[in-house]
A and B are shown apart, each in its own frame.
Chain A
Amino acid sequence: MNINIILAGVGGQGILSIATIIGNTAVKQGLYLKQAEVHGMSQRGGDVQSHLRLSDKEIAADLIPMGKTDIIISVEPMEALRYLPMLKPKGWVITNTNPFINIPNYPEKEVLLERINKLSHKIALDADEISKNLGSARSSNMVILGAASPFLQLKIEDIEQTIKETFISKGQEVVDVNIACLHAGRDFADKNK
């Protein structure tokens, strides 16, 4: 087993919460992990990415080589496209369709979604709307994680368990809504992959 993931988004969108849950689930199963994060200046509203590598063998580099990424998980549509040079042929792109606009020359949303639609292996969903409908606008990242879950080679029950452990200090209600978001994302992916 060997899986390379790029998490993409904008500084402040919390892509590391997705990385933490995937990472902790993988480590509990005895997998090796390397996860390169971006700290510092880019965190101020700039584009950020994290390289997450899981394997049953020891991993050499902290960075994924170009063209060797299995999955791009993006919480923002334009950021999903920024890392295409990193993606393998037939690699999956899982992305939120709700744009984060903090620059004056942000492209038209329709043009962006059209380009994403042209990708051969993609799941594109409005995670913000789904999480809002489930009663927690702040949990959209769990919807994205759910949509990525069929491609992670991790069991959904194990991911659920990690979510429980991560959020239990904030109460059962928070755990439940995050798990509901996870499943909503998963259902969408199962229907659309």
Chain B
Amino acid sequence: MQKLLLLGDEAIAQAALDAGISGIYAYPGTPSTEIMEYIQVSKKAADNNVHRQWSVNEKTALEAAIGMSYAGKRAIVCMKHVGLNVAADAFMNVAITGTNGGLVILSADDPSMHSSQNEQDSRYYGQFAFIPVFEPSNQQEAYDMTVAAFDFSEKHNVAVLLRITTRLAHSRAGVKCHYKREQNKLKFPDNPRRFILLPAIARKQYIALLEKQEAIRKDIESSTFCTYIDGEDKSMGIITSGIAFNYLQENYQDKKCPYPIVKITQYPLPLKYINKLADECDSLMLIEEGYPLIEQQIKGLLNRGLKVKGRLDGSIPRVGELNANIIARALGLPDTQGEAVPDIVVPRPPALCTGCPHTDTYKALNEAIEPYGKGRVFADIGCYTLGALPPHNAIFTCVDMGASITMAKGATDAGLNQAVAVIGDSTFCHSGITSLFDCVMENTPLTVFILDNSTTAMTGGQKSHASGKIENICLGLGVDKEHIHVIKPLPKEHDKNVEIIAKELKHQGVSVIIPERECIQTLKRKTRTQK
């Protein structure tokens, strides 16, 4: 069978299509974005009328996917790890309702924070909610385990959390796509009441969820994805999670690893293998891509004084992404390293593109706010976060989606005057609208910049739902029309823009300024296609 050269993300997308999904729901977020993008351009998805539009945020995405599952059909919902925080309410509760059509929830973690504000480990969400977690170790497993996750979900009536990390998401390899299945027919849940989480029903459902755990664990213990690989040297046993297995193997290219290995790719943990390893070996080493989740669990589970090495005892660094060299050092194998980086090499941080509309917005804002002093601009998640770096030095916070507006409000409530929020059109739509409504209700004196560049730029230019509608949304929320200004962020408009901003900074109520100019990247792409 011919192999397709696919990113981990793309392998998951192809597998979801082959497993007969009727819809994918997602909000863009590195490193998960390419799953939706692959399905959006897939002929198979178009031919089979698979739903494939971006959602407003991860919570609405997951809720829609739960609805599709309720109706008996298969759905996948995709997000980056911090997106699962946004969707957490729906996530925790779909554990209690259970599913009808197969439901796979993909969360892409970003250890070492290549493009994120933290490196939280989604596997904890699975443990927290009693939702099984699948964690493929390579691109072929990403395909195979996505297919398996849908069957698993329908067999046990549970959602499955598919956890990947940046390296698998954005690395390409040959993948055999061997599966084909039709979409499900419309079908109501067998028990019509289990999606009604009234306390009396929820209590029963919760007990049913806990009772399912043993059957789920048994299935995982008999699956082919978690394996025990024997080794002669029983002085130590090694447990790996997900892609950590590959970094271990990288150290044994020409010879077999002497230690027995348990390769874990599914949770709840296959205790059968772990007990076997603990019985046979004098000590254990845990190699996990992410937090020390198994390491912490195992210490309690074993409770027999076995020495456990890993991220907690410092054998492996407590933070950051793994690589083969880290494992070599942990195992006492020779480390390899080339020449040092010459001193003349300087860092090259990412920056706003030449001609970016945000640059002109920040220039005008910096000038207008100068008389009041620094520290009053609250920003958000997107390209414009790069305004924190020189030469702009224009913003002072970036916490979570939508936080700019509500943090500016809280600071104003605390007595900070001339607070400003800066948020992009897509982020405003994702989580800023409710924040702005909080300000309108109290007529909080602050100025909100909603940067409308007609796209979700940071993740590569996906559709932004609010673009072009922002003025009307603000009017609908009750912002005074006199204090909503649409401006053109261009050098030639600079003086006019500074004047408008300066005036609104003085206004004792909610002001909204909407700098409207298309992202230079999407504009370039459009011009190229038109040629």
* Interface residue A136 (Cβ < 8 Å from any Cβ of B): no
**Which among A62, A89, A91 has the greatest number of chain B C-beta atoms within 10 A?**
A62
The one of A10, A11, A67, A82 that contacts B336, using a Cβ cutoff of 8 Å? A67
Q: How far is the CA of A115 from the CA of B344 in the complex (A)?
A: 9
A1 within 8 A of partner (CB): no
CB–CB A88/B5 < 8 A = no
Residue of A whose beta carbon sits closest to that of B350: A46
A39 near B30: Cβ-Cβ < 8 Å = yes
Determine how close the nearest CB of chain B comes to the CB of A187; give it in whole angstroms.
29
Task: Specify which of A37, A41, A59, A85 is in contact with B350 (CB 8 Å cutoff).
Answer: A41
A60 lies within 8 A of B249 (CB): yes
Q: Is residue A172 within 8 Å, beta carbon to beta carbon, of the partner chain? A: no
Q: For residue A69, which residues in chain B have a CB less than 8 angstroms away from its CB?
A: 338
A38 to chain B, nearest CB (A): 7
Bound-complex Cα distance A27 to B328 (A): 30
Q: Is A45 an interface residue (CB 8 A)?
A: yes
Complex-state Cα separation, A103 to B389, whole angstroms: 12
In the complex, whether B207 has a CB less than 8 A from a CB of chain A is no
Please tell me if B412 contacts chain A, counting CB pairs below 8 Å.
no
**Is the Cβ of B246 less than 8 Å from the Cβ of A60?**
yes
With A40-B31, A65-B324, A102-B351 known as contacts, the answer to whether A87 contacts B339 (CB < 8 A) is yes
Residue-by-residue, is B149-188 near A (CB-CB < 8 Å gives 1, otherwise 0)?
0000000000000000001101111100000000000000
Q: Which residue of A lies closest to B457 (CB)?
A: A44
- Kindly state whether residue A106 has any CB partner on chain B within 8 Å: yes
> What number of B residues sit within 8 Å (CB to CB) of A?
49
- In the assembled complex, which residues on chain B have CB atoms less than 8 Å from the CB atom of A85? 337-341
Q: Is the CB of A63 within 8 A of B342?
A: no
- What per-residue 1/0 map shows which CB atoms of B71-83 lie under 8 Å from chain A? 0000000000000
Chain B residues with CB under 8 Å of A46's CB are 348-351
| Chain B, residue nearest A31 (CB) | B174
Q: C-beta contact mask, A77-112 vs B, less than 8 Å → 1, else 0?
A: 011011011111101000000000011011100011
Cβ of B247 under 8 Å from chain A: yes
Interface residues of A in 20-52 (CB under 8 A from B): 23-24, 27, 32-47, 51
What is the minimal beta-carbon distance from A157 to any residue of chain B, in angstroms? 21
- Asked whether, in the complex, the Cβ of A84 is within 8 Å of the Cβ of B170, the reply is no
The interface bits of chain B over 449-484 (1 if a CB of A lies within 8 angstroms of the residue's CB, else 0) are: 000000000111000000000000000000000000
A42 to B459, CA, bound (A): 11
Residue B413 is within 8 A (CB to CB) of chain A in the complex: no
Q: Are A102 and B348 CB-contacts (below 8 A) given A32-B174, A60-B250?
A: yes
Q: Are B459 and A40 in contact (CB under 8 A)?
A: yes
Residue B34 CB within 8 A of the other chain: yes
Q: Is the CB of B246 within 8 A of A62?
A: yes
A residues less than 8 Å from B386 (CB atoms): 44
A68: chain B residues at CB < 8 Å are 336
**A33, B173: Cβ atoms closer than 8 Å:** yes
Task: Tell me, yes or no, whether A66 is within 8 Å of chain B by CB.
Answer: yes
Expressed in whole angstroms, the Cα–Cα distance for A37 and B166 within the complex equals 10
Besides A78-B346, A102-B351, 15 new A-B residue pairs in contact (Cβ under 8 A), listed by A number: A12-B353, A27-B3, A36-B170, A40-B114, A40-B459, A60-B249, A61-B247, A61-B324, A63-B247, A65-B325, A66-B325, A68-B336, A81-B345, A88-B338, A91-B338
> Contact residues of A with B, CB < 8 Å?
10-12, 23-24, 27, 32-47, 51, 59-63, 65-69, 78-79, 81-82, 84-89, 91, 102-103, 105-107, 111-112, 115
